[in-house]
Structure 1
């Protein structure tokens, strides 16, 4: 098990600057922690009605630029996004950025993806489709993995069509940096089991955020489901990383981050 920190979900506010990811990672590394992870949002629509637990789009710094800064300022600690909102991104650009960060850092970066939640308009104003956000995200994962691993990559999907294409340099991590998905239900677990290497649940005071069940109970059940869903899909991998974010404040201002490699063969 690896222990680390998650960027607080609380909004830093305007015009207060967000936390410096590089400085946080230096402090975490000096303290002996293993990981730091950071969330992603872009712009805040001011007139959009937003329901709790979100109170408007948080005003975060860019997580990929922050990860590059943090990894350049440290030597050992690992950094991830938790999560990068994929419906607001183009997979070719993200594939290039992640490959570059992975090489510069010596393989200390992992990519956590999600589909948003704070705002419908945030996704739409950056060119994404709110209704098709999961379909776009899963197709984007297939595109990125193809670009990272194939010398002549072709693709014919709903959102992307590629003639023979090469992306280089390749990531240092082979076959590619691990991809995890954030979410709270069986549909997310099925997507992880068929297409990804890890799952990112969030627990608020030991209860699954936006769902039922305590942290230990949910993890035990979810590990079994990941195993079963992977077998159903005919997929064989050594383990899934379960990256657990624990929030212990009613305002979601303090988080802990635990990364647990879970062998698929385990019950």
Structure 2
């Protein structure tokens, strides 16, 4: 989940990358190192190779390729993005996953943020249409959906950042970077975050149906995927409506477009 600040600085060297975290990064270097180490063991080449962890600095190999964000996504892009995502979500065995902390911005974190921000005095200043009706509808839906959203699911390693800038295309394959929020998650939740991230539609046109159609999901996973998409759409709407920094980073009209996306997912 994108926030209004960064927890690190990045230094690009010819063959390596140094990621220096701030003193208040609160476990981010360990999360990054743990995920990179697991992927180097179980899915080598999918993410940077971890080279060293020195205090708050993670040094890793430098990957080839350019970010998918801001590009015109072709079927070849979607094939490679789906392959990489599927590989990530199947890479780590259950015994390793059991020892992982929950990813940041998992269900409990997201619901708490929505509830906290939805109580802010600034909410009445939302544009009357369509943002406020969408927010009201979303909060009504959340009241009935929270219990099922919080139910346990088969764990996977979650990258915990669906920003398409973190997916590098080298002309044939996609590789992943940025794991500072990573941890234990579930497959529908991770797929939902990717297709509902603002980067999927604000400056990149990710065809969500075409992308998700590249995965085989059970009926139960399909149902959870929709609920998780609704949760992320509501979370983004609340952030756009209450966080000036989030709104300022995006084009005019993004809040209204996000409201329309949420209403569509809620079948309004």
TM-score, normalised with respect to structure 2: 0.31
User: Which structure has greater strand proportion?
Assistant: 1
Q: Which has the higher contact order (CA 8 A, sep 6+)?
A: 2
User: Which structure has greater helix proportion?
Assistant: 2
TM-score, normalised with respect to structure 1: 0.32
